[in-house]
Amino acid sequence: MAAYPIRPYDGVMQAAAKLIANGKMDVEYIVADGEHSQFEIVKHACAVGSRVFVGSSGVGWFYAFEAIAVTAGLRLPVVAICGNRALDDPGAFGTEHNDSLAVRDLGWLLPWAETAQEAMDLALMAWRVGEDKRVSLPVAIGLDGAFLTHSQQIVKIPTQAAVNTFLPPFDLGDRLLHPDNPITIAPQVDQDWLMEIRMQNDQAMRKAEGVIREAHADFKKLFGRGGDSPFLDEYMTDDAEVVFFGQGTLALPMKVAIRRLRKEGHKVGLVRLKWFRPFATDEIVKCLSRFKAVGVIDRDYSFGSPYYGGVLYNEVRSALYSQPKRPVVVGFIAGLGGREIEQPMAQEIFEKTKAAASGDLKAGDTCHWIGVRS
């Protein structure tokens, strides 16, 4: 485990340091001189057969970007957390997802947690899936800065015996870097082999969806948690005509809004995305095609993108494009920099999405920024 302090992820590493100091975890804990060194340390430790854990946030995540990109290219199953925060400048410690999303095209698996319990559960899932020889890819668990990284919640800790049953010993096989197994890691291949290597990463990401489903089934059997699907969490959607779609802790205020709107007679629900990569396209399309309209809420931005929407918005539109029967998709950007998504904002999101469902609002004109002072 390699650590370097940067808010808001640093509380996780402080808690881990206490557990190690109190003899409750047998872990080599290395305090690095910066984020780049952090990720280089765990990358090399993983290459010689160690199960590793690391984390960062915001600009620290970007400072380590060279090592982060290389880790995916090397097919090393490093497990990281990213305490999602706004990028500088201007500075803010609150939630934005652009730090994690910067690696979405590089071969990192990207789950997002709603609660502290789910964050811990996803860590176990991350090692199980990333270390599977069919995958061998790194995993970065998204934790919303402040809303989740600095919240105190009750967590059920599984027994060591149960974890050992779920999580087999880490084995790199013939890719292990060892004096008795002299191999070359990351040689310069140029055009001769690079395309084949990239395709292998693509194939591993495709296989990851099935491996996640297997791991989820085993996890649910052992620990009794995880819901029906590893990729989607639905809330009050059985008779819904309009749904909100997003990831992370924004589900919490939206659930409050849904309960209030339901009392007023509105058929509204929530679909929360649990894994951004791999993007479980078939399941997501099948789910969202049941509804008249989908309001996609991004805690990120993608300046100059189609319809000036957020990253998740354009992923959803792309996934639904070829479907003959598809919902109206409306994009929203909200809660940047840690701004709370308050109930009047949730009401506005609902009203615009409902208007799009009835044809009173043209959905594709632009993405809507919610809760912005004028």
Confidence class for position 181, pLDDT limits 50, 70, 90: confident
**Domain boundaries of the chain, sorted by first residue:** 2-223, 232-369
CATH of domain 232-369: 3.40.50.920
pLDDT tens for each residue of 225-240: 999 999 999 999 999 9
pLDDT tens for each residue of 258-299: 999 999 999 999 999 999 999 999 999 999 999 999 999 999
CATH fold of the domain at 2-223: Rossmann fold (3.40.50)
pLDDT tens for each residue of 195-234: 999 999 999 999 999 999 999 999 999 999 999 999 999 9
Peptide bond into 8 cis (omega under 30): yes
Alpha helix stretches (DSSP H) within the chain: 10-21, 35-47, 58-63, 65-73, 98-101, 116-131, 160-166, 190-223, 251-263, 281-288, 311-320, 343-357
Q: In this model, does residue 364 exceed pLDDT 70?
A: no
- For residue 247, the SS3 value is coil
pLDDT tens for each residue of 44-94: 999 999 999 999 999 999 999 999 999 999 999 999 999 999 999 888 889
Query: One fold for both 2-223 and 232-369?
Result: yes
Other CB atoms within 10 Å distance of the CB of residue 71: 29
Q: In this model, does residue 365 exceed pLDDT 70?
A: no
